[in-house]
Structure 1
Amino acid sequence: MIALVWIAGLGAAAQYGKIGVVFDRLPELYPDVGAALGWTVSLVGVIGIVFGVVAGLFVAAFGYRRTLVCCLWLGAAMSALQVLALPFGLFLATRVVEGISHLGIVVAGPTLMAILATGPARGVALTIWSTFFGVSFALLSWLGLPLVEAQGVRALFAAHAVIMVGLAVILHRALRDLPVPARTAFPKLRALPALHLGIYRSPFKLAPAAGWLFYTSCFLAILTLLPPFVPAEARVFVMGAMPLVSIAVSMSLGVVLLRVLPGVRLVQIGFLLCAVTMLWLWVSPGDWRACLALAAAFGLVQGASFAAVPQLNATAADQSEANGAMSQAGNLGNGIGTPLLVAVIATGGYSAMILTVAALLFAGAVVHQILASQRGGRPAVAG
């Protein structure tokens, strides 16, 4: 059951990845739109930035199982439409709707995992969930790109649609007998600002998202911008290995450490190790060993951040709100990280980029410490 929910996460990550891995070939479909092609990636995240926090409230009201299955169907429908030769404006519209599908899956998925797993298994399950982006991108590179070479870009969209339909059918049957909390009342629109403030002011609900913002601001940006600074003979190996090392550490050492350390503490350790390895890269530019050490440290942050959600929030509704905040933070971090570092490189070069990332990662550990002090050592609470 946990594996099935995780595979649904792979489908959600592919809503980003199916464009990311073929971005250089999109001009074949839309040759005259120029820089506007960038919207094909970012529009999926806009929904998460705007509605990420309150998504948890709506998911709790609509139902976790129902949200997951309906969002899989919605994602399948959008991928099927993208197979058609849509005008560029309509293609962008399908990407906006995919953002709704993506947000529903990434909020409902980890909440269902936390329901399915109890005790030490919960940390393992949520660490597994945390790998969904990296695994999905790897699969798209290994399996999707050969399909694109043989059949064209739209064949990848068709394959994604078929996979999402299959997941919707399977999970509808697999989850129907899973005991889940009773659905809550839908929030009133006029109450949404206050609900946002309620989440932002809670050091329990906000903490995982606050750390996740710093992680996502750095992880994708580093993978995107570091390659030119890695020696050419090692570049392909290093950039291919970094996501896999991160996942491997998250699933091995991260799982073991979560049995003896709280998730927040492990996130802080991961952030500090990341900052140290950035200083290593500052002293030894492009060193492949430092790159892999950085990926390993990122792996500690990755799984522990999701594991911290149920550790800090006792009820499914609170966990859903915390996951919604994480989704918002992740989309925001992915959106601002790369442009920020591009600007930093333009003004200060490699050293400025490395030191900026080191400062951001150190700040992530500090922010977690501030929120921990606000919790005052209290256990997870509802509300």
Structure 2
Amino acid sequence: MAITANEGKVSQQSTQSTSWLAVILLWVAGIAAAMQFAKFSISYNQVLNHYQIEPALAGASLSIVGVVGLIFGVTAGIIANKVGYFRVLIGALFVGAIMSFLQSLLPSFEWILLSRLLEGFSQLGVVVAAPTIIALLSAPHHKSLTMGLWGTFFGVAFAISGWAGNEILANYDLSGLYFSHALFILFIALVLLFVLDKNESRYRSELPSSGESYVSKLMSIYRNPRTLLPCVVFLFYTCTLVSLLTYLPNFIEDANLTATLQIVLPLVSTTGTFLAGAISQYWLPPQRVAVIAYIGLGVGALLLMLNPVSELHLCAIFGLMIFSAGLIPGAALSLIPRLARNSYEQGNGYGLIAQLGNLGATVGPPLYAAVIAFSGIDGLAIVALIACGFGGLASFLVGRLKPASE
């Protein structure tokens, strides 16, 4: 059914109602942005074969997108508030569409790397602007729910890419995969251009410019516990979850069971993330959800050290750990609009969460790999327990801050 201008346009509505159409479309935009990671993940071997390059270079084409967020995450939050979240979002999506189209032409690998670098800025723009706008378009009694939904975008993107992307790759090769992503991200950019209110005052902080220098702004963001603590909660999640999803299935000797876990565990994590948003909205404050999640993850790590007697027991423990870890981003993302006093703090929070999230995803896997090589599954469990300790402490400290509405 076509959306008319009056139905589709998000206007200056009361904050007591939620613009569900816009929220869902912004979530889809997040999925499209996360596919910038997923499309190179599922096509890794084809990139190696087509360009005849070393695995390290192919790996660089995958990781360079995240490196941009690691370096410029907080900066993106500052810029987005100044330029405008709507402009940043739409511009980032158009840049992403152009880069995917260029990749579909299969240029030299140097151009591929350059396009991936620019995709990193595109992805960062979306993950800073989209959740900020979602929070602003969500009624107070829906914010945790919409943040829980937003937190699932990465897992959903990989699930869709593993299903439809592999099918496209098998039938239409690299060009078809990248071109289909270009069409998808262009489509959602055009839809959002039509649906979202173009009045930037709707999405930007009403605070006047403080005249602070760039460095002073950065330091104030890092010193602000309302911005920092939810992101620290998120940091120890990304450090751990990426590693658990990568290494846990390798401890199962049955090849079929291992393959099943590689499909099921990401879905378990995504389920936990959405459920955390619902729990945070209707039953428990998000900081308590985060504390419980880290406790559940720690219990699973302790059970691993008891040497389970069967692979089925191992799988049950893996499920507990992944589900508990999946609760954490739903809680952490819900904390940002709960604690932020204005859209400026919200944007800074999402920029910092992108930066620390990429830091955790970058540091975690090699750290876990080194410990596993030295002491096996017990080493993995010990590092997970340490991460739970720090993440749980950050979650406890968040609980000492008053929500912005109080």
**What TM bracket, shorter-length normalisation?**
over 0.9
| Residue ranges of structure 2 left out of the alignment (5+ in a row) | 1-21
Change (3 A) 1:36 1:181: closer
Distance 1:260 1:90 in 2: 50
Change (3 A) 1:144 1:74: same
Pairing of 1:151-166 with structure 2 (within 5 A): 151-166=172-187
Could you say which residue in structure 1 is the equivalent of 2:279? 256
Question: Partner amino acid for 1:98?
Answer: E
Distance 1:129 1:142 in 2: 21
Give TM-score, length-normalised by structure 1. Answer: 0.93
**Deviation of the 1:256 alpha carbon:** 2.8
2:258 to 210, 235, 251: 235
- Check whether the contact 1:56–1:320 (CA below 8 A) recurs between aligned residues: yes
Question: Partner amino acid for 1:27?
Answer: L
Identify which range, 139-148 or 86-95, moves more after superposition.
Answer: 86-95
Change (3 A) 1:34 1:240: closer
1:224 to 231, 234, 246: 246
Could you say which residue in structure 2 is the equivalent of 1:278? 301
**Deviation of the 1:357 alpha carbon:** 1.6
> For 1:153, what is the secondary structure of its paired residue?
helix
**Deviation of the 1:107 alpha carbon:** 0.4
> For 1:176, what is the secondary structure of its paired residue?
coil
> For 1:86, what is the secondary structure of its paired residue?
coil
Question: Partner amino acid for 1:120?
Answer: H
Question: Partner amino acid for 1:217?
Answer: C
Answering whether residue 75 of structure 2 is matched by residue 48 of structure 1, we say no
The superposition leaves residues 163-184 of structure 1 with CA deviations (integer Å, 9 ceiling, x where unpaired) of 0110111000100357333677
Q: How many residues align?
A: 378
Could you say which residue in structure 1 is the equivalent of 2:404? 380
- Check whether the contact 1:127–1:250 (CA below 8 A) recurs between aligned residues: yes
| Residue ranges of structure 1 left out of the alignment (5+ in a row) | none
**Deviation of the 1:370 alpha carbon:** 4.0
**Deviation of the 1:267 alpha carbon:** 1.0
Give TM-score, length-normalised by structure 2. Answer: 0.88
**Deviation of the 1:350 alpha carbon:** 2.2
The superposition leaves residues 24-76 of structure 1 with CA deviations (integer Å, 9 ceiling, x where unpaired) of 22212221334221111111111111110121111111111111111000000
Change (3 A) 1:88 1:195: same
Change (3 A) 1:4 1:126: same
Distance 2:343 2:168 in 1: 40
Distance 1:34 1:288 in 2: 31
Pairing of 1:138-157 with structure 2 (within 5 A): 138-157=159-178
- Check whether the contact 2:134–2:146 (CA below 8 A) recurs between aligned residues: yes
Question: Partner amino acid for 2:260?
Answer: F
**Deviation of the 1:202 alpha carbon:** 0.9
Answering whether residue 124 of structure 2 is matched by residue 103 of structure 1, we say yes
Change (3 A) 1:36 1:336: same
Could you say which residue in structure 1 is the equivalent of 2:99? 78
Answering whether residue 395 of structure 2 is matched by residue 368 of structure 1, we say yes
Could you say which residue in structure 2 is the equivalent of 1:208? 230
Pairing of 1:60-209 with structure 2 (within 5 A): 60-176=81-197, 179-181=202-204, 191-209=213-231
> For 1:252, what is the secondary structure of its paired residue?
helix
Change (3 A) 1:345 1:90: same
Identify which range, 351-360 or 312-321, moves more after superposition.
Answer: 351-360
Distance 2:361 2:86 in 1: 27
Answering whether residue 369 of structure 2 is matched by residue 342 of structure 1, we say yes
Distance 2:222 2:51 in 1: 41
Identify which range, 129-138 or 289-298, moves more after superposition.
Answer: 289-298
**Deviation of the 1:192 alpha carbon:** 2.4
Change (3 A) 1:56 1:183: farther
Change (3 A) 1:172 1:183: farther
**Deviation of the 1:243 alpha carbon:** 1.6
- Check whether the contact 1:110–1:323 (CA below 8 A) recurs between aligned residues: yes
- Check whether the contact 1:75–1:98 (CA below 8 A) recurs between aligned residues: yes
The superposition leaves residues 193-220 of structure 1 with CA deviations (integer Å, 9 ceiling, x where unpaired) of 2222111111111011111110001111
> For 1:210, what is the secondary structure of its paired residue?
helix
- Check whether the contact 2:34–2:153 (CA below 8 A) recurs between aligned residues: yes
Distance 2:139 2:98 in 1: 34
Change (3 A) 1:381 1:62: farther
- Check whether the contact 1:258–1:304 (CA below 8 A) recurs between aligned residues: no
Could you say which residue in structure 1 is the equivalent of 2:290? 267
